[in-house]
Chain A
Amino acid sequence: AQRVTQPEKLLSVFKGAPVELKCNYSYSGSPELFWYVQYSRQRLQLLLRHISRESIKGFTADLNKGETSFHLKKPFAQEEDSAMYYCALPQGGSEKLVFGKGMKLTVNP
């Protein structure tokens, strides 16, 4: 079965510092991976997806099949980036998503 691992639960940085939120997955094929974000008192929402290969709010994520990773990166964190971040993978190429346990990012002023 597909699995998503987010090895760190918490990350606290100062504004302007680089951030990297780690995500590792187990999947035998070519995965489609997502990063979802949940800001305080807001609903879970899509941040970015692998297939789009785009930068959203300054965040990028590169799929590394050799390391089975899809780490989320931002060179200069902002206070408004403080949120819970979840990495997700469609299970078996189907519609249902398998989520990691999430990581709380805090960006301090």
Chain B
Amino acid sequence: GAGVSQTPSNKVTEKGKYVELRCDPISGHTALYWYRQSLGQGPEFLIYFQGTGAADDSGLPNDRFFAVRPEGSVSTLKIQRTERGDSAVYLCASSLSGDSYNEQFFGPGTRLTVL
């Protein structure tokens, strides 16, 4: 079956612009996670959805970042007024439920470059 997919695979934008990154989780997975991975670092947690609701958004760095999952499936990460420091690979993962013992399946990531 299909794994987690993310679009676009690459996004280049200018400082100050708005971007949307999309994640399509594995069908039937209720839990969805967004992580950000900067160069030379491990993935860093941003936000976690259980169904349609954001169960934990404590990792979002500031109010320029927002994510939605309106129908409990596809999720969109939105970044307003992008800054050069937002450049990173944004990873999406999904799991069967939000239990910490469940394996998280990762997408290929979206590489965001802010010029």
Assuming the contacts A95-B56, A99-B43, asked whether A32 and B106 have C-beta atoms less than 8 A apart, the reply is no
Interface size bucket, A side? 20 to 34
Interface flags for B1-15 (1: CB within 8 Å of A; 0: not) read: 001100000000000
B45 contacts which chain A residues (CB < 8 A)?
91, 96-98
Verify B40–A43 contact, CB threshold 8 A: no
- List A61-79 residues whose CB lies under 8 Å from chain B: none
Q: Is residue A94 contacting chain B, with contact meaning CB distance below 8 A?
A: yes
Verify B31–A102 contact, CB threshold 8 A: no
Assuming the contacts A95-B98, A96-B59, asked whether A43 and B109 have C-beta atoms less than 8 A apart, the reply is yes
Interface size bucket, B side? 20 to 34
- In this complex, the member of B59, B100, B102 whose beta carbon has the largest number of chain A beta carbons within 10 angstroms is B100
Indicate which residue in B33, B35, B42, B106 contacts A43 across the interface (CB closer than 8 Å): B106
Interface flags for A1-26 (1: CB within 8 Å of B; 0: not) read: 00010000100000000000000000
Indicate which residue in A49, A96, A101 contacts B48 across the interface (CB closer than 8 Å): A96
Chain B min CB distance to A87 (Å): 8
CA distance A91 to B56 in the complex (A): 12
CA distance A101 to B38 in the complex (A): 10
Q: Is residue A46 contacting chain B, with contact meaning CB distance below 8 A?
A: yes
A44 contacts which chain B residues (CB < 8 A)?
43, 91, 106
- List B12-49 residues whose CB lies under 8 Å from chain A: 31, 33, 35, 40-45, 48
Q: Which residues of B contact A (CB under 8 A)?
A: 3-4, 31, 33, 35, 40-45, 48, 55-56, 59, 91, 95, 98-109
Q: Which residues of A contact B (CB under 8 A)?
A: 4, 9, 32, 43-46, 49, 51, 86, 88, 90-91, 93-102
